[in-house]
Structure 1
């Protein structure tokens, strides 16, 4: 993941700024021709709420995942700690974390149960991040959690990716494999003959085609392992968008200007193989517009209006993607507001939690999941299987409708400073005109009688004093 944030977007409606464009909004979406993929996308869009996890050896240091070994002078790549004085010494110590990684508290059944209780419906797990350490039993490298060099390899659950997928699949989740296209540990990507200069391949693939071909095959083989040995996989979520054909670079996007070499890994070959083993697989080659970006993944931001293609916002529960001691977690109020705003624009929320080096979530993360789950048990019908309804959002009011259009949902959000919804005497529902056959009910107080009047094409909803209460957001359902 790229290490930039737009936290104001999480607390209030956001505008698609130049910054947000860098986080993967798409101006040339290509609808998949495969009808099985189309069907899978439609199913996935109805799920609305997923769990993301960044986890690896870096969690032991509580540092940013992978990026501290990248020789770029950015805030999120800065080296810290006792090994920071020299680049080579730091990388050696970082890669030596493999020999101490032993997350003995790893219990994916516990994670899956907590996520299910929170109302989540799919999971995306980091099988390999940019540093190249594999959280699955690959046969292509010994830099992996199942290596004898790694203490956790002796554990019966050492093939972490398989354990995660099996546990979540048992709870009815769709499963997604995050996989980094760049691999900074691979000698065929960062060739030891040259020092790495930045996040990109450190040699010219056109000058050394055999080495680049070896890297392409390495990538292909690892993805093939994930597609054949880990049960049903619904999403191949590919990160590291600088590994791309040079012709696809968009120089209006700041981070893409540093891509100078053609890093084409032959996505047609990879996707074709993957779908042979996993029919209907959604492929997300993020930031690389075209036929292999089946849905779009704006990062740490929320668009102001619906986007004309399938999309999800990937957003951290804390401030960081991976584990950081005493991370600053978003409130349940903030997370619920994010979810409501995202689904009102037709998107999904992929909420990230970084497991600890011992293999568990923080107590705060579990508390957030439990509180979200309590809210979802009341409001699930106004979350799953919904689509946008203009005007989408008006102040602290958010609009949605069921996929068949037979039900409309209106959320009244709490103030950002308090968890309790302040219920006014009346609410004006702009653009919604009811008929004599219309029925309206508050999901939070279904037995409470509501009075409505019509004025200037709007519906005025009168709310009885002290009869309706709720946290984070309350919802009204309107049917004919």
Structure 2
């Protein structure tokens, strides 16, 4: 044997052994899911990151800018806010106390009883979607399942679904038909991947008191349902807790936060769990053909412990192309993406925004209150105001982003009077100023003012909202053709000074300036340092003033 070939083979063997050892050492390695029941649609995209980089965000989404979301499910029934299904098993916590008072001890009853109580009796999806469209929404999102693992459609692969239990209604079909009636692209959000670790609190038991040491209902089996309302159903298909705790999960409520990427001691989902999630999601896509698909996961679902998310992404893109004459019109969202992954899908930033213009389109997802309906937020006037929402929208659009806004829905399927008032005020602003939002693109700089000067870009801007206060001195820019829009995030108290439009920084010729919503003729002067507009006599709204500059 040639010595060079021998050396190469030896090195190859060494690298293979090292690579295999790394895989074996990884607690988070799971073999690929099988596609037998729901095969990946054939087409341009393969289930690899390299192939998914062929993606290009469709123009319709870039033009849309604003969507509204119904992040609605059984956890809205108690009206106790976010993550009720997890926190109700946290001994001594507020949601635990509320559950014990209203339902009983979680060793006797559990989250499945919340599902049973959820009836959605006053839900009118067409009425709600009509209101959302009037408020300016250009696309509509509905939640298909949450970490609580209940599918909100007639699910082929999940017996715990809203047609069989709870409301006995096909929630996704209702939302889908309403979106279609009002001509809004339909988005679906999927959150169920993390039920495996999220529901681990249901494996716990009280550490003190009369129920100390008696397990909660997270380990119940199908046999335990004999004579109960849930007879014939397997609680493990809902809770998925026939596995050991993740590291420290038995005692640390917040251990999950550091294990969201299936690392740091997270319990790794079984092959069967991954394949069930894959089949459920492909079935969902096949049923509703969504225009947008949102995953509440880092990168893609179950990544890197499974290739389920990669296969779902490839299927979604290929299926969409087949329905649009080989033109890709789909939008897929992922969180906490690397720069390479941002080429594969649209980056979603939860409750925050980057502090620069992004080269690729992106989206902020946020909520006017809690993600799940909270009576205390209503009682304490805790909702974001219409002004706050509009300021966020203007800021996000100036940076090449879109805003997806959740309006929390009560368990009965309605929204409250304060939410309606906020939406109506957003609608009134949109009636006059929407031309400065829709179909626009970023200018050379996104803005100027105290906030722009103070903030420096971080690696990730998730959960950064509300950390700074915007004012009329903060100005955001965007453009459409030869029109530049400069939006003041408040009401000016003096003359308006735009430094970026001074002759030293702006070479273009300014032909005219007007304020949207006003017929007043403005007086202005451009110097080297700035463009100064004399304070107008008429201020058309008290939220955000839009200057239309030709």
* TM-score > 0.5 by shorter chain: yes
Alignment of 1:53-64 (within 5 A): 53-64=70-81
**Whole-angstrom CA distance in 1 between matches of 2:535 and 2:507:** 16
Distance apart, 1:295 and its partner CA? 1.2
Alignment of 1:221-236 (within 5 A): 221-230=279-288, 232-236=289-293
Report Cα offsets for 1:28-79 as digits up to 9, x if no partner: x989544xx5252x32122111112221111121234445426997999963
Which of residues 173, 176, 189 in structure 1 aligns to 2:187? 176
Give the 3 Å change call, closer, same or farther, for CA 442–429 of structure 1 in structure 2.
Answer: farther
Distance apart, 1:443 and its partner CA? 0.8
Structure 1's consecutive aligned runs of 4 or more residues displaced over 6 angstroms after TM superposition are 70-78, 84-88
**Pair 1:165 & 2:242 matched:** no
Normalized per residue, the structure richer in helix is 2
Q: Equivalent residue for 1:104? A: 121
**Greater CA drift, 470-479 or 394-403:** 394-403
Give the 3 Å change call, closer, same or farther, for CA 66–391 of structure 1 in structure 2.
Answer: closer
Residue 63 of structure 1 aligns to a residue in which SS?
coil
Contact map agreement 1:344 1:398 (CA 8 A) in 2? no
Any gaps of 5 or more consecutive residues in structure 1? Answer: 1-28, 247-262, 415-420
Q: Equivalent residue for 2:447? A: 392
Q: Equivalent residue for 2:295? A: 238
Contact map agreement 2:351 2:366 (CA 8 A) in 1? yes
Contact map agreement 2:446 2:477 (CA 8 A) in 1? no
Report Cα offsets for 1:117-175 as digits up to 9, x if no partner: 1111112221000110111110112211100x33x21xxxx111111122122222122
Residue 477 of structure 1 aligns to a residue in which SS?
strand
**Pair 1:325 & 2:396 matched:** no
**Greater CA drift, 466-475 or 138-147:** 466-475
Distance apart, 1:274 and its partner CA? 2.4
**Whole-angstrom CA distance in 1 between matches of 2:92 and 2:431:** 40
Q: Equivalent residue for 1:134? A: 151
Give the 3 Å change call, closer, same or farther, for CA 114–81 of structure 1 in structure 2.
Answer: same
**Whole-angstrom CA distance in 2 between matches of 1:235 and 1:87:** 40
**Whole-angstrom CA distance in 2 between matches of 1:397 and 1:163:** 41
Which of residues 438, 463, 466 in structure 1 aligns to 2:511? 438
**Pair 1:194 & 2:244 matched:** yes
Residue 279 of structure 2 aligns to a residue in which SS?
helix
Distance apart, 1:429 and its partner CA? 4.2
How many residues matched? 411
Residue 127 of structure 1 aligns to a residue in which SS?
strand
Alignment of 1:354-433 (within 5 A): 354-389=408-443, 390=445, 392-395=447-450, 396-404=473-481, 406-414=482-490, 421-432=491-502, 433=506
Distance apart, 1:182 and its partner CA? 2.2
Q: Equivalent residue for 2:358? A: 307
Distance apart, 1:452 and its partner CA? 2.0
Please, what TM-score do these two structures have when normalized by structure 1? 0.76
Report Cα offsets for 1:306-365 as digits up to 9, x if no partner: 2333211111112x1111114221111211111111112221111111110110111111
**Greater CA drift, 325-334 or 124-133:** 325-334
Contact map agreement 2:368 2:384 (CA 8 A) in 1? yes
Q: Equivalent residue for 1:417? A: none
Distance apart, 1:239 and its partner CA? 1.0
Give the 3 Å change call, closer, same or farther, for CA 344–460 of structure 1 in structure 2.
Answer: same
Q: Equivalent residue for 1:47? A: 64
Which of residues 393, 398, 404 in structure 2 aligns to 1:350? 404
Q: Equivalent residue for 2:531? A: 459
Please, what TM-score do these two structures have when normalized by structure 2? 0.67
Give the 3 Å change call, closer, same or farther, for CA 326–70 of structure 1 in structure 2.
Answer: closer
Give the 3 Å change call, closer, same or farther, for CA 30–118 of structure 1 in structure 2.
Answer: farther
Q: Equivalent residue for 2:542? A: 471
Any gaps of 5 or more consecutive residues in structure 2? Answer: 1-48, 197-234, 250-254, 322-327, 451-472
Q: Equivalent residue for 1:19? A: none
Contact map agreement 1:132 1:186 (CA 8 A) in 2? no
Distance apart, 1:87 and its partner CA? 12
| Structure of higher CA gyration radius | 2
> What root-mean-square deviation, in Å, do the aligned CA atoms of Structure 1 and Structure 2 show?
3.4
Which of residues 285, 292, 299 in structure 1 aligns to 2:334? 285
Contact map agreement 2:474 2:489 (CA 8 A) in 1? yes
**Whole-angstrom CA distance in 2 between matches of 1:163 and 1:371:** 26
Contact map agreement 2:187 2:291 (CA 8 A) in 1? yes
Give the 3 Å change call, closer, same or farther, for CA 75–173 of structure 1 in structure 2.
Answer: farther
**Whole-angstrom CA distance in 2 between matches of 1:222 and 1:329:** 34
Which of residues 87, 96, 99 in structure 2 aligns to 1:79? 96
Distance apart, 1:190 and its partner CA? 3.4
